[in-house]
Structure 1
Amino acid sequence: MDLKVRQASDFGLFKLSCLHKQHQPMILVYKFLKESFLFAINALRTNVLRTILTLSGVTIGIFSIITVFTLIDFLEKQVRESIESLGDNVVYIQKWPWTPPEGESEYPWWRYMNRQVPSLDDYEQIKRRSQIAEDVSYVMSSQKMLQYESNSYDNVAVMGVSDGFDKIWTFEIAGGRYFSPYEANSGMGVAIIGAEIASELFQGTDPIGKRVKMMGRKLTVIGVLLRTGSDIFGNSLDKNIIIPVKYARNLFNLRSESVNPMILVKAKPGYTSDDMVDELTGVMRAIRRIKPQGDNDFALNRISLIQKNFDSLFDFIDWAGWFIGGFSILVGGFGIANIMFVSVKERTRIIGIQKALGAKRKFILMQFLIESTALSLLGGLAGLFIVFGIAMTISLATDSEMALTLLNILKGIGISSFIGVVSGFIPAWKASKMDPVEAINAL
């Protein structure tokens, strides 16, 4: 007797004995799954090239979709970390808004060009008048050259900040300390430098207590920032020098737009940025003495404006991944269906023997569905393995951590299983409806 026929006969007899005795249901399930997977493996071995070409569609599809999901997770993590470094629940008072007005698609820059920039007086007034602000800080920025003895560093990002900046902006001090309130408010010539500047100017020596020169003035280094690298927006404090803004006003014109002055306001716990915006709108209009009918001559920017734009971008990338991967999976699904139709035709006599021995239609149906699902899962797991390899390579080659999350693994397995069930259903249904006599006598 043919080996496949003998396997089918033994399997059918075993099933009948279990069904009649109504014993050992777990053994029956185990035997059922085992035999179904053995049939699937046999289908793979019958024509290896055909199987590889067929499963490659599922592999590429799962690879495309899960790669997009992994990339989105990675980018979202980078964006969130970058946004958190800009301050949580913080409102930025500036001359220019970050986005067009609500309901408008174009950016009307001509409305904003004659606005005045935030001033130190605005900052002091907000500190006095605001009821829900936990911290307020004035910040300006520019670029200058920094010198220490014979060493120099060009295009250093200079930040002049007021008291409270360390409570709003997220960063860590690797060595030394931050400004004291007295140093910040009196405008003393002290500075905190980035890790990159410390490395280049001091060549491995301790910079704390040393004096650097900028614009002909000497500043005492009291702290060094922890090295962080650049975030997704290109921001980094590694190449920055932070000085008290009341010292910076002796070097820079704070009323000039060239130093990008802004006021950062962080809300107290229990208050949202919307609450902060509502209050600051009234406070700033009162400070600037704007008439009730007049338009605001300031912008209140929030991180949520950036998040909305990135959410739209991520949604687009997500759909693009589904679209690209969907075509590959569709091709792979047709390939699996083709394999299953061939498998049903090759095992027609085995199906007839199983049905003659008492196998029910749902048993035959499930047998082929499990086989098609197993085939699809193999393709999906191959795609997941490729994504995992790429994520590990990127993580090892860069400072960024890209990981294939458990959720994305489950998505890949779920999609593969679904494609397997859908692709194998029609061939399985056709097999389950076969007449046992005609099937056994089939050539």
Structure 2
Amino acid sequence: MKAIRLTLESFRFAWEALKGNLLRTVLSLLGVTVGIFAIIAVFTVVDSLEKNIRSSMNFVGDKVIYVDKWPWEFGPEFAWWKYFNRPVPNTREYRLLQKQLGPNNAGIAIFASKSGNTFKAGSNSVDDAFLQGVSYDYRIISDVPVAQGRYFTAQEVDGARNVAIIGADIAANLFPDRSALGQEFKTRGQRFTVIGVMEKAGKSLLEIKSNDTNTFIPFGSFSKIFAINPGTGSGVSATIGVKGLDTDPGLLDLEYEVTGLMRSARGLKPREDANFALNRPEMLASAISGLFSILGVAGGVIGSFAMLVGGFGIANIMFVSVKERTNIIGIQKSLGAKNYFILFQFLFEAVFLCLLGGAAGLLLVWFITLIPQDSLPLFMSGGRIALGLTVSVLIGMVAGIVPAVLAANLDPVIAIRAK
């Protein structure tokens, strides 16, 4: 009860002091506002950038091991010539893994892709479209968000039928005045019937691969158009993806099994190095996290300088406030006010001032996130709001502790005589 009364009294004194010097209060708030705005704005942009890039790479899936020719992690001393002559995964190896893998996987798929394709439907055409041939279980490996129509049947994939699932932009451009389902388009001398249209993905910062300009066809149909490269020569390279289970932490069991089967399929001796790479989405995720951790630290350091200036401003104002209210402090102490009450009063004033400035800075960042952005939509997380308020409190305590201690230790007789 005493703590509540003390807090309310301190709040009343702080509010009256701040309201009595409104212009000075506003000017003091600006330093903290700019500081919090700088720090949280930097973190907000970094968080939004990271989220956008991660969402742009959702096509790699989760808990998946990819059997490929090249590793995804390239160090500063990457010996590319060791990987250049490696064979690429082929259909025979895919069938072997599909048949001999144990119960440690949820599905296996083979897929290949080719960019720069032209689609034509009547007088309409789409250039630079992305064409991807996939096996039936590809939807287990990666998300295929079909909004209209359906996914492939096993018979369509096994029979290498000319059916396609197209992106939203392709559907809008090829068939602007009618539904794309059941319509035909032509590419690379082959006609395909549209059985599905994917959800609109929208723009992303990294235009690595967008489903809006992507088209899925059965892997056998893709092989009729492009030569799937089984060796090291020219042609389109295929990739095998194996989906792991939640019951296999780190996918270690699955990795050991895939490694053993691939070494056996390629006739590698125990002492020979593997001529294939096992890649995981976590490799990309860790690289992205490391990059944005560095950006976050750099942004925090830059924003901290602005926050430091605001803290000095608050400290200066608190020293002035103690000087102006020395007589009042003496009266309060002569009437029985304890040192901790005076200390808490001025400390609370400094913290309250910083909280107001911090809240104003957070509000400015929030207003910026409301501005529509196509390629980089901004968002401010609850964690960043909590960080901004926490930093405001800490700055208020650091900036106000010395003036508050000086005020609390004033001699009441000398303080009353002060002018």
TM-score by length of structure 1 reads: 0.88
Asked if residue 283 in structure 1 is aligned to residue 261 in structure 2, the reply is: yes
2:15, 2:139 → 1: CA distance?
Answer: 61
1:159 to 132, 148, 151: 132
Change (3 A) 1:282 1:250: same
1:192 to 160, 165, 171: 165
2:142, 2:10 → 1: CA distance?
Answer: 61
1:364 to 324, 342, 345: 342
Note the alpha carbon deviations across 1:166-186, whole angstroms, 9 max, x for none.
Answer: 222112212221111011011
Gaps of 5+ in 2: none
Contact 2:113 2:131 in 1 (8 A): yes
2:72, 2:287 → 1: CA distance?
Answer: 11
Aligned to 2:95: 124
Q: Which has the larger radius of gyration?
A: 1
Aligned to 2:69: 95
Contact 1:273 1:302 in 2 (8 A): no
1:246, 1:32 → 2: CA distance?
Answer: 77
1:115 to 79, 83, 86: 86
Aligned to 1:410: 386
Query: Shift of the alpha carbon at 1:260?
Result: 3.4
Q: What secondary structure, in the 3-state scheme, does the structure 1 residue paired with 2:70 have?
A: coil
| Amino acid in structure 1 at the alignment position of 2:187 | M
Aligned to 1:333: 311
| Amino acid in structure 1 at the alignment position of 2:245 | K
- More displaced, 277-286 or 26-35? 26-35
| Amino acid in structure 1 at the alignment position of 2:401 | F
Equivalent pairs, count: 412
Question: Identical aligned pairs, as a percentage?
Answer: 41
Change (3 A) 1:208 1:359: same
Asked if residue 297 in structure 1 is aligned to residue 275 in structure 2, the reply is: yes
Query: Shift of the alpha carbon at 1:362?
Result: 0.9
Aligned to 2:367: 389
Query: Shift of the alpha carbon at 1:191?
Result: 1.4
Gaps of 5+ in 1: 1-22
Note the alpha carbon deviations across 1:71-91, whole angstroms, 9 max, x for none.
Answer: 333234334434444211011
2:49 to 67, 75, 92: 75
TM-score by length of structure 2 reads: 0.93
Change (3 A) 1:29 1:330: closer
Asked if residue 266 in structure 1 is aligned to residue 217 in structure 2, the reply is: no
Query: Shift of the alpha carbon at 1:204?
Result: 2.4
1:350, 1:240 → 2: CA distance?
Answer: 74
1:55 to 29, 37, 41: 29
Contact 1:40 1:372 in 2 (8 A): no
Q: What secondary structure, in the 3-state scheme, does the structure 1 residue paired with 2:120 have?
A: strand
Cα root mean square deviation, aligned? 2.0
Change (3 A) 1:399 1:311: closer
Please give the residue correspondences for 1:317-332 in structure 2 after superposition, counting only pairs within 5 Å: 317-332=295-310
| Amino acid in structure 1 at the alignment position of 2:185 | V
Change (3 A) 1:25 1:253: closer
Contact 2:89 2:239 in 1 (8 A): yes
Q: What secondary structure, in the 3-state scheme, does the structure 2 residue paired with 1:317 have?
A: helix
Query: Shift of the alpha carbon at 1:347?
Result: 1.1
Change (3 A) 1:249 1:176: same
Contact 1:194 1:226 in 2 (8 A): yes
| Amino acid in structure 2 at the alignment position of 1:198 | A
